[in-house]
Amino acid sequence: MYKVPEDCKQDLDAVSNYASEIYNNTFSPYLNQVKELYTQVQDAEHVSLSDTSLEWILTTLPLNLFTISENLNDLRLQIEVLKLKAKEKTKAKESVLEYQILRSIYESVVSRVENELTFTRELIMGAKKIWDARRRAETPVVNEVVPEESTKLPDYVLDSSKRSSYIR
């Protein structure tokens, strides 16, 4: 582990705790199962991954990505506001340290979530491949049935002279 200077330790702990709090409150509810499920997908036999888990990955997880994206966009907007506020404070010769720290915290959370989104998309694609393979294995292949020559019916050609007697 790395050594943190004592005069920075309290600030770094506070910053780290705040970043974790933002992540846990905003994104964790949607991503908390992803790593565990990814481990199951990576299992060579895919035995430990149930159909229920696959179904959750393929239905619920993509819907969660929409909510995550909305929350991520809100966080990015807050970063932009912090940039503008810091610029305004700089022009007024005021301290911008708090804005820079907060911006750094938000940017680290954004980076973490973006990495997890990439990871989540990979999980969804892997689960889809497993799902398809299981369905192909469960569905029996039906071969084309070719009738024998003896059961083939002859072509039926209606003689036009007899046609009028059939139609009345």
Asked if residue 162 has pLDDT above 70, the reply is: no
pLDDT at 164: 53
Largest CA distance in the chain: 112
pTM above 0.95, yes or no: no
- Asked if 41 and 130 touch (Cβ cutoff 8 Å), the reply is yes
Any idea what the Cα angle at residue 48 is, between residues 44 and 50, rounded to 5°? Answer: 120
The pairs formed by 49-57 with CB atoms below 8 angstroms and a separation of 24 or more are 49/127, 49/130, 51/134, 54/127, 54/130, 54/131, 54/134, 57/123, 57/124, 57/127
% of the chain residues with pLDDT over 90: 52
> Mind listing the pLDDT tens digit for each residue in 123-152?
999 889 888 888 888 766 555 666 566 566
What integer is the mean pLDDT of 65-78? Answer: 96
Name all domains of the chain by residue range, CATH numbers in brackets. 6-140 (1.20.58)
Which residues are CB-contacts of 107 (< 8 A; sequence separation ≥ 6)? 79
> Mind listing the pLDDT tens digit for each residue in 32-71?
888 888 877 777 565 668 888 889 999 999 999 999 999 9
Q: Residue 104 burial (CB < 10 Å; 0-12/13-18/19+)?
A: middle
% of the chain residues with pLDDT over 70: 79
Please provide the average confidence, as pLDDT, over all residues in the chain: 85
